[in-house]
Structure 1
Amino acid sequence: MGFWDSGPFGNDDAADFADELDEATAQGRIAMIGAVLERIATTGITEDLDGGDAPRAVAAAALVAAQCPAGAPVRSTYGPAMPMPRFPGYLRQLAVDALDRLVTAPSWLADGWRDDPVWRATISELRNVLDPPQTETLFEL
C-alpha cells in the first residue's frame, strides 16, 4: 500500500474505498462507511488493526465529519466523486470510537505516522469536529 499524502484519502486503500463508494447506492455508501468504522471501533486493544481497514476508517471518519456543523468538505482528487447521502447520527460516535482506536497501540497506522505532525493534526481535527469539546458549563458546582 502506498501513502503519498497525510490527508484522509492520501493512500491506496482510501482511494480504492472512494472508488467503491462511488459505485455503491446511497444506502450502500451508508452501510460501507458504518461497516468499516464498526470493524475498527470494535477491534480489541490486544488485536492489531487490519491493514486496509485502518486508512479506510480515517477516510470514512472524514466523510462523516464533513456533515457535522463545524465540518469541512472533503477536498481530495482521490476522494469520492459522488455526493454522500445524509449519514445517520450514530455514525458520528462510531467515527469517534474508530479514531480513538486508530491512535491506540497496537496500531500500525499510528506507529507509521507518529512523527508526522500534519497527520496527527488531521486526526485531532476530525475528532474535534465529530465530538467538539464542551465550551460551557450547564451549572456552577
Structure 2
Amino acid sequence: MGTWSTDPFGNDTAVDWIYALVEANDLSFIAETLQNVIDIGSDYLEVPEADEAIAAADTIARLKGNFYVKNSYTESLDQWVQNHKLTPPQALVDLAILAMNRILTEPSELLELWQDSEDFDDWAREIQDLKDRLR
C-alpha cells in the first residue's frame, strides 16, 4: 500500500498528490480530485483515488485553519496553504465530506485494506477527525 501511518499524508499517493497541487493557483485541482471519487458512484473505488481525495480534503481543512499533522511530508503543502490565502466555498467543503463518506462506503479498496489491518480503528478515527476539521 506504500503506507506508513493512518494520517492523511501517511502514504506515497498523498505525498505525490502534493507535488501536483503546488503547481495549482486555485482550488480547481482540489475540486477535481474530490469529484473523481464522487463520479465513481457505486463502482469500485480504488486506493489511489481515495488517498488523493483524503489529501484534498485535508488541504481544505488546512485552508480553513484546521491543521492536523505538520511534518516533513507536508512542508510543500503547508507552504502552498500559506502562500494561497484561499477560502474554500461551502460547496467544496460539502464535496469533501461527501468524498470521505464515499471512501467509507463499500465497494472501497482503501476501506477493505484498512478493515484487514489492525490499525482500522485508528484510520477510521482519522477520517472522522478530518470530517470534523472540515466543518
SS of the equivalent of 1:83 reads helix
Report the alpha carbon displacement of residue 100 of structure 1 after superposing the two structures with TM: 0.4
Match of 1:56 among 52, 55, 65: 52
| 1:3 equivalent in structure 2 | 3
Pair 1:124-2:128 in alignment: yes
Q: % of aligned pairs identical? A: 30
Answer with 1 or 2: which has the greater Rg.
1
- Indicate the larger mover: 47-56 or 7-16: 47-56
CA RMSD of aligned residues (A): 1.8
The answer for unaligned runs of 5 or more in structure 2 is: none
**Deviation for aligned residue 1:43:** 1.9
Task: Identify the residue that residue 94 of structure 2 maps to in structure 1.
Answer: 93
Instruction: State the shift of 1:41 in Å.
Output: 2.1
TM-score normalized with structure 2 length:
0.83
Specify every segment of 5 or more residues in structure 1 that has no aligned partner in the other structure, as ranges.
Answer: 132-141
* Equivalent residue, structure 2, for 1:68: 64
**Counting helix residues as a fraction of each chain, which structure ranks higher?**
2
Taking structure 1 as the reference length, what is the TM-score of the superposition? 0.80
Q: How many Å apart are 1:80 and its aligned residue?
A: 5.1
